Structure 1
Amino acid sequence: MPKGIVYLVGAGPGNPDLLTVRARQLIESAEVLVYDYLVHPAFTHLLPDDCEQICVGKRKGFHSKKQEEIQEILLAKAAEGKRVVRLKGGDPFLFGRGGEEAMALAEAGIEFEIVPGITSAMGAAAYSGIPLTNRSTNATLVFVTGHENPEKLDTTVDWENLPKKDSTICIYMGVANLDRISERLMAGGFLPETPTACVEWATMGHQRVCRGSLGTIAQESKSFGLKAPAIIIVGETAAMSEDLSWFENKPLQGRKLVVTRSKGQASELSSMLEKTGAEVIGLPLISITGAVKPEVADEIFAEIASYDWLVFSSPNGVRYFFEAFFQKFEDIRSLGFLRIAAVGKSTAKEIKKYFVSTDLIPKEANAESLAEALVETDSLDSAKVLVVAGNLGRDVLIDKLEEARAIVDRFEVYKTEQTDLSENPSAKMFREQGADGILFTSSSGVRSFIDQAKYLQLSPDALRPKTVSIGPITSATMKQIGMPVDIEAKEASLDSLVDAVVKRFGK
């Protein structure tokens, strides 16, 4: 049996983009993932398909596993010879009980590794424009837990004697005790006018910042509706947030959007939305995998140089076609002198990655427009055309080309299937919180959403999302099954889709 190992990994303050390179590498190769409640579901999308996922998260009023049980899970899975990733919010050694878990592993003789993460206070400060240190105002930085009740006689935090001069105090888990914490800090000599900021859901698209002074922050936080998780920052540099707050100025900051693209496709759209400040929930309703039959590929590639047109109906077709092509050939010139057509700009963009030019792109990104554009070239009579498609490709393209007397071969290179959302962490997050908008980029995604509706029923308090369509084909499917189309992109491209979302939801 292989020797097991446990990695105690910091997931950072919440934003998936702030995951370290080492943490990402370990998640991508994990055999078992043991994760906390505050860990973003996007991290689970990096996992191998056969990885066992165990949620042991804790939140106020709900503890799925006691600390002793968590440690027993780590020991048991490592004893099975597994590569175990224990993913913890922030940094594993900062108010995360990672030290207790590491000690349990050390005492059991199990190999482990500590992978630091960006701690929540650092993320909260950076994303709210608060320098934690500043040469002219403070040279002392204090991290302290506010989870303890300040009224306790045996509290380990000496609130009255925390450093006051030239210091910044970062308080973790202190929202519930904010009134008493602020009272005790002032009783210890902190001035009531000391700038104070509370950063809720730091680094996330729905981050909020409550600003005030130490003497007013308790009351202001109540009016603000401040809730955990939040970091409280006390000190002169907290006042700099008004001028340095860059994240709150992004057009979609405060918006939560659901991306329904497949696991392999979602990253580009998610990245585009996150750059505008949105929080993205990745909810892959479909999975797309290569489905090239070797015997068919052999026949196609044996005749590839004899085709007049190579037609791509999607970016997925481009990726899986060239993957199969380069398994057979070493040189792109083996394509011969054929011309290439793409259904739209996104597909042409994918083709360009292989240093190949696209000869024809229709004005509208759909099969009908692509067929009409090809017919208008007057080059189809007796021409050999290879249409690259997936298992759900529409026959309208091939039918119209054959009507124009083309000799058409269909090359199926990938298959689209529904994903199982029954145990999906992102589906759970969507059910509990809802979203401002849910983005559909394909008809198959729309059908999967309807077919799996029982796993996507929103809780009574969840935000009801507007529906967003990438274009006419997807919109037609939505209307056909009775789903409203609240927003539609002007053209079927990711750029146009993001523009439509920013126009509707932007500040």
Structure 2
Amino acid sequence: MSEGRVFLLGAGPGDPGLLTLRGLELLRTADVVVYDRLVHRRLLGHCRADCERIAVGKRAGHHPVTQEEISELLVQKARAGRRVVRLKGGDPFIFGRGGEEARRLAEAGIPFEIVPGVSAALAAGACAGIPLTHREVASTLVLVTGHETPGKAGASVDWRALGALKQATLCIYMGVGRFAEIAAELKAGGMAAETPAACVQWASLGEQRTVTGTLDTLGDAMAAAGVEAPAIVILGEVVRYREQLAWSEKRPLLGRRVVVTRNRERAGELAAKLENLGASVLELPMVRIEADVNPEIRQEVFEGIGSYDWLVFSSVNGVRHFFDEFFREFRDIRALGVMRIAAVGEATARAIRDYHLEVEIVPEKAVAEALAEALIATGSLDHAKVLVVTGNLGRDVLVRKLDEARAIVDTFPVYRTEKTDLANDPVAADFRTHGADAILFTSSSGVQSFVEQAAALRLEAGARRPLAGSIGPITSETMRQAGMPVDFEAAEASLDGLIDALVRKLR
């Protein structure tokens, strides 16, 4: 049996884009991932399909899995020869109890590695526009937990001593619930009541919000705003710089909840683009894409691959699954021969170019009709051999028009689109309860699945009713046929076009 190893990995403050490259590598190669409650679910999407995922989330007053049980679980999995990633919010060694887990591993003789992450305080300062140190006003930075009751006998934090510090910034973890008591102790130690103060909730995420005040007023301001954990309190003169440096509040989708309905494998690109603009993204994959190739058709296509004049792709999924099959059969891209290549739209063309192949035809409108017209306009189809790569739900209009132009058309289905079941999905429950500002549809199959799952996605009273956006005319027509409104449509049938339309609509 191979030797097991444990990696204590900091997941960062919430934004999945803040995971380190080392962390990404570890998630992709892990046999087991043991993860915390606040870890972004998209990070788990980097894991292999056969990776065992174990949730051990804790929140204040609710610990379904004790710290001792978590440590023993790591030992057990490593002794079984597994490569284990312990995925922890923030940094494992900053109020993450990573030290306790590392000590237990050391005592058990388990090899381990500590991989740092962006801690919540660092993210809170950066994302709220508050420099935690500044040569003019803050040469000391204190990271402190507010978890225990201030002033109690034997307390490990001397708040009065911290209140006496000069030119210091205090970052308080887990301090929202006890802030009134903490503030009283700090003032007793000499901190001025008018000391600038801020609280940053959900730092780095689309839900991020910042409440400001002074040491005296912040407690009431947080209560009025309904601030809860996870949040970081920042005290010190550096808070004054926020007025000038608060960059994240200028993002056009800040605070907006946006539902992405793409299949889970491809939702990440759209979600990341939205999050970069400040949105809080809910991933509700209406469909899933599976490889599905008839072995007889596959053999026939690849035996004659060099005889085709045109290779035509009608979707990004088709590109990915076609080349997965192609490279199982051939080692060299030159086995394609000298065929010309066409793509239904720019996104599909980009996927083809990733294989260093030139795409000759990309119609302005990303629909099958426009692709057929562009191919016919070349005057090259009479008795030309055309291979159309498609999925099980591909529209027949493209093949029909090419047939009418006297082309010899073969179709090669390489993937299957299936509807998902979101009845018990926790994100679907969140959507039902709170709703969203917008829901984005990128395919007709996604629309059809949404309609069929309407009961599981019905909004509760008081939930926000989202505007519905479409990536292009075919998807829009499917929405209208289903009785759904089309509140906005991408001018260009691409993810960027859809996002531009969303921003304009919500502005």
| Superposition TM-score, scaled by structure 2 size | 0.91
Q: Which residue of 1 aligns with 2:91?
A: 91
Shift of 1:346: 1.6
Aligned letter for 2:231? A
Q: Which residue of 2 aligns with 1:232?
A: 233
Query: Residues 336 and 36 of structure 1: is their aligned pair in 2 closer, same or farther, counting only changes over 3 Å?
Result: closer
Query: Residues 354 and 82 of structure 1: is their aligned pair in 2 closer, same or farther, counting only changes over 3 Å?
Result: closer
Query: Residues 455 and 53 of structure 1: is their aligned pair in 2 closer, same or farther, counting only changes over 3 Å?
Result: farther
Q: Which residue of 1 aligns with 2:133?
A: 133
Aligned letter for 2:20? T
SS of the counterpart of 2:264? coil
Matches within 5 A, 1:322-341: 322-326=323-327, 328=329, 334-341=335-342
Query: Residues 434 and 367 of structure 1: is their aligned pair in 2 closer, same or farther, counting only changes over 3 Å?
Result: same
Q: Which residue of 1 aligns with 2:222?
A: 221
Aligned letter for 1:166? Q
Query: Residues 95 and 330 of structure 1: is their aligned pair in 2 closer, same or farther, counting only changes over 3 Å?
Result: closer
**1: CA distance between counterparts of 2:228 and 2:82?**
37
**2: CA distance between counterparts of 1:410 and 1:467?**
33
Shift of 1:257: 2.1
SS of the counterpart of 1:176? coil
Q: Does residue 176 of the first structure (1) align with residue 177 of the second (2)? A: yes
- Unpaired runs of 5+ residues, structure 2, are none
Q: Which residue of 2 aligns with 1:114?
A: 114
Query: Residues 82 and 483 of structure 1: is their aligned pair in 2 closer, same or farther, counting only changes over 3 Å?
Result: farther
**1: CA distance between counterparts of 2:460 and 2:109?**
45
Q: Given that residues 151 and 185 in structure 2 are in contact (C-alpha distance below 8 angstroms), is that contact kept between their aligned partners in structure 1? A: no
Matches within 5 A, 1:150-165: 150=150, 152-162=152-162, 163-165=164-166
Q: Given that residues 470 and 486 in structure 2 are in contact (C-alpha distance below 8 angstroms), is that contact kept between their aligned partners in structure 1? A: yes
Question: What is the count of residue pairs matched by the alignment?
Answer: 506
**2: CA distance between counterparts of 1:168 and 1:501?**
39
Q: Deviations over 1:238-265 (max 9, x none)?
A: 1111111111111112223232223332
- Unpaired runs of 5+ residues, structure 1, are none
Q: Which residue of 2 aligns with 1:440?
A: 441
Q: Given that residues 140 and 169 in structure 2 are in contact (C-alpha distance below 8 angstroms), is that contact kept between their aligned partners in structure 1? A: yes
Q: Which residue of 2 aligns with 1:417?
A: 418
Matches within 5 A, 1:178-217: 178-217=179-218
Q: Deviations over 1:372-428 (max 9, x none)?
A: 333344443322221111222112211222123221110222333345657766556
Please say which of residues 161-170 and 54-63 is displaced more in the overlay: 54-63
Please say which of residues 403-412 and 124-133 is displaced more in the overlay: 403-412
**1: CA distance between counterparts of 2:27 and 2:377?**
50
Matches within 5 A, 1:187-336: 187-293=188-294, 295-326=296-327, 328=329, 334-336=335-337
Q: Which residue of 2 aligns with 1:52?
A: 52
Q: Which residue of 2 aligns with 1:372?
A: 373
**2: CA distance between counterparts of 1:304 and 1:127?**
52
**2: CA distance between counterparts of 1:292 and 1:270?**
29
**2: CA distance between counterparts of 1:330 and 1:29?**
25
Q: Deviations over 1:289-330 (max 9, x none)?
A: 444455534432443343333221112222333444455556
**1: CA distance between counterparts of 2:390 and 2:70?**
47
**1: CA distance between counterparts of 2:68 and 2:286?**
36
**2: CA distance between counterparts of 1:92 and 1:368?**
54
Q: Which residue of 1 aligns with 2:505?
A: 504
Please say which of residues 379-388 and 301-310 is displaced more in the overlay: 301-310
SS of the counterpart of 2:382? coil
Q: Which residue of 1 aligns with 2:103?
A: 103
Q: Given that residues 41 and 425 in structure 1 are in contact (C-alpha distance below 8 angstroms), is that contact kept between their aligned partners in structure 2? A: no
**2: CA distance between counterparts of 1:500 and 1:349?**
21
Query: Residues 304 and 264 of structure 1: is their aligned pair in 2 closer, same or farther, counting only changes over 3 Å?
Result: same
| Superposition TM-score, scaled by structure 1 size | 0.91
Q: Does residue 41 of the first structure (1) align with residue 41 of the second (2)? A: yes
SS of the counterpart of 1:62? coil
Matches within 5 A, 1:334-353: 334-353=335-354
Query: Residues 155 and 242 of structure 1: is their aligned pair in 2 closer, same or farther, counting only changes over 3 Å?
Result: same
Q: Given that residues 129 and 245 in structure 2 are in contact (C-alpha distance below 8 angstroms), is that contact kept between their aligned partners in structure 1? A: yes
Aligned letter for 2:252? P
Please say which of residues 9-18 and 103-112 is displaced more in the overlay: 103-112
Q: Which residue of 1 aligns with 2:62?
A: 62
SS of the counterpart of 1:46? coil
**1: CA distance between counterparts of 2:462 and 2:65?**
26
Aligned letter for 2:119? T
Query: Residues 452 and 74 of structure 1: is their aligned pair in 2 closer, same or farther, counting only changes over 3 Å?
Result: farther
Aligned letter for 2:473? P
Aligned letter for 1:225? G
Aligned letter for 1:251? P
| Percent identical | 57
Shift of 1:19: 0.7
Q: Given that residues 149 and 177 in structure 1 are in contact (C-alpha distance below 8 angstroms), is that contact kept between their aligned partners in structure 2? A: yes
Q: Which residue of 2 aligns with 1:408?
A: 409
**2: CA distance between counterparts of 1:331 and 1:226?**
58
Query: Residues 80 and 479 of structure 1: is their aligned pair in 2 closer, same or farther, counting only changes over 3 Å?
Result: farther
**1: CA distance between counterparts of 2:439 and 2:355?**
32
Q: Given that residues 205 and 275 in structure 2 are in contact (C-alpha distance below 8 angstroms), is that contact kept between their aligned partners in structure 1? A: no
Q: Given that residues 42 and 426 in structure 1 are in contact (C-alpha distance below 8 angstroms), is that contact kept between their aligned partners in structure 2? A: no
